[in-house]
Amino acid sequence: MSPAWDGGWDMRRDVNFLNQTMEEVLAPLPPEDVIQSSREVVRNYLEIGKNKVGRIKWAEFELNGTFVRGGIVNATQMSSRLIFDWTDDQTIEEIVAHAQLDGVKAGDLIEAKNGGGHYWCVPYRKPGMTAGAANRLRAIFLTEALFTEILDMFNENARLTPAEKHMVYQVTIGLNPNRAAQYDGVSTETRRSQLKAATLKLDCHSQIALVRLMVSQLIHLLYICESETSNLQLIEQFGTRFFGPSARLSVQCLPNGRVMRFWEFGPVNGRPLLVMHGFLFGFLVLDGENEFLKNNIRLVMPLRCGYLDEKTASGSRQLEKLASENIEDLLLFTKCIFDEPVPIMGHNMGGMFAMLLAKTRPELFSNVTIASIMLMQDKARKSSIAAKFASGLKKLAEETGIYEYAAKQMQKKVFSNEYAARHVLGRLFRDSPHDLDVVNGKRGSGPAFDWFRQIAMHCIDGFVSDLSLISRSQEHSLRDIHIPVRFVHGPGDPYTSVRELQTFASTNTRATCKILADGGHYVSASHPAEFWKEISWCFEPRQ
């Protein structure tokens, strides 16, 4: 189960849980008080929950009204989802339609058609934008429940009554006491009295001062909407450019204070499959959308630190720390996102992460699929161009004073042009006709040179960190997994032969191998229908 974007609060589940557990929790009380106290706890929880804001929705525009992106912040689960197709959400679609028809400008307060709130338009400048970049507008969907949470957050000591809070909301959205009274079916004097009391409690000397105070406090909503997505510019641009609107980008806050960025592909309500990506992860998802729909697969792909990051690590110690933190974060992420054991798939170098996670916390996963694993264990492969490339990067990482400089130079000079991308990919896959066809665009979604340059420029740390983890963990990781494991592999894979794979898989009696009829290392891109059909084994019921 992913963050509840369409609700944010599962009332029935929570009430059932409270009813089942409160008798135990309240056992120290006298028996006659247990039932009464339990009911009171549930009743109070429901009262709080009715007014609790689960979601904050927003849409961002250029000053001319052109839609840029939207977002849904799940305040309950501390998650943020970015939206690039405005038709994905009815609320965001409504304000975009209004902007296209009538325009939007800073200061607008536009009432929603259903009367459930207002779109509050405020000037906004995205973090990281250059000095010459134009400002934007952000329209935040402001409901009374959301307004009340902000009011309570900054004015706890004012001790406003519910009626006074309601009146402050009405005044802020532009209603005077007369109209507010008509709207609620009460006398004007009642509303005036409540407004006067609220103004005094909030230490304001006029209605204008009250509105000014509320607007200044509502600016906090900009921070809430941006706090977890402020450092997503690079990954956002990559996803928009190469994956398109089918890739849903989100951010999940973790209990350890860090965040996990992740993409979702396929049907929103499809069968979930957690994926540990490899270095060239574009090959896995670029040709999979039709297969995700056909096989009802919702691919959840967390992006590990070190991939599409602006910063560069300083050496091996920092990279080893990065690898261990990635393991910790992935386990926490799995617990946050899924309510029951989920199938996990590791692709390419991500296979090691999938095996380590399954070995460390087997109760979180139903089974493991390892696709196109990269072993390179025999002598021929250890001397291949790919092995030399990986070995050289690992050696650089050992030199703390050199690695950061060398990595930046590679990013800026070596991988920054298409010629280099063509040459590197051509040599890495020269022994696999199927993979060369994928790289050159003869099969699949088109030439990989452009998105490969972006990955090579901004994923070196992740790649080297993964290499370090693989060299330390590969030999014993599979042997200690106690849930079903299946390897899916192309017979023409230039980095791991069928014989190597079968020898490796034999170390675990629960592991099986499925060798596809054709394909190389990136068989997911060259033969997507066969590949994803086989991956669907992970959803089959187990004895």
Q: Are 100 and 30 in the same domain?
A: no
**Two tokens at 475?**
């030999």
Residue 412: the pLDDT is 61
Residue 511 lies in a domain: yes
Unique residue bearing structure tokens 């596809």: 516
- Strand pairing class (297-303; 259-265): antiparallel
Boundary (domain end) residue, out of 112, 130, 145: 145
Burial of 149 (0-12, 13-18, 19+ CB in 10 A): middle
Question: How confident is the model at residue 385, as a pLDDT?
Answer: 65
Among the candidates 102, 126, 145, a domain finishes at 145
- What are the strands, taking DSSP E only, across 63-153? 67-74, 79-83, 109-111, 118-124, 136-142
Q: Do residues 34 and 59 both lie within one domain?
A: no
37 and 126 fall within a common domain = no
**Pair (68, 107) in one structural domain:** yes
168 inside domain: no
Instruction: Indicate whether 110 and 239 sit together in one domain.
Output: no
Alpha-carbon distance values, 243 to 135, 376, 543 (Å): 26, 30, 38
Domain that holds residue 139: 55-145
Judge whether residue 76 has pLDDT over 90: no
Q: Token pair for residue 358?
A: 């399954």
- Domain presence at residue 428: yes
- Whether 333 and 421 share a structural domain: yes
Helix residue ranges, H only, 361-399: 379-382, 385-398
* Same domain, residue pair 19 and 128: no
Domain count along the chain: 3
Split at pLDDT 50, 70, 90, the class of 266 is very high
pLDDT band at 230 (very low <50, low <70, confident <90, very high): low
Residue 23 lies in a domain: yes
Most confident of 11-15, 179-183, 199-203, 257-261: 199-203
> Is residue 7 situated within a structural domain?
no
Write down which residue in 101, 118, 145 finishes a domain.
Answer: 145
Residues 344 and 470 occupy one common structural domain: yes
**pTM of the full structure:** 0.73
Task: Please name the residues in contact with 161: beta carbons below 8 A apart, sequence gap of 6 or more.
Answer: 194, 197
Counting beta carbons within 10 angstroms of the beta carbon of residue 230, is it exposed (0 to 12), middle (13 to 18) or buried (19 or more)? middle
Q: What is the pLDDT of residues 77-128, one digit of tens each?
A: 667 888 888 888 889 999 999 999 999 998 899 999 877 899 999 988 765 5
DSSP designation for 176: -
Distance of CA 387 to the CA centre of its chain: 32
Residue with tokens 């229908």: 529
- CATH number of the domain within which 490 lies: 3.40.50.1820
Of 344-353, 382-391, 451-460, 499-508, the poorest mean pLDDT is in 382-391
Residue 151's pLDDT band, with cuts at 50, 70 and 90, is: very high
What pLDDT digit, counting tens, does each position of 483-516 carry? 999 999 999 888 888 999 999 999 999 999 999 9
Enter the tokens of residue 177. 């006491």
Q: Are residues 141 and 263 in the same domain?
A: no
In terms of domains, do 29 and 88 share one?
no
In terms of Cα–Cα distance, which of 451, 459, 463 is closest to 284?
A: 451
Tell me if 11 sits within 8 A of 52, measured CB to CB.
no
60 and 38, same domain (yes or no): no
Q: Is residue 177 part of a domain?
A: no
User: Is 405 within the bounds of a domain?
Assistant: yes
Residues 132, 43 within the same domain = no
Specify if 150 maps to a domain: no
Contact 242, 284 (CB under 8 A): no
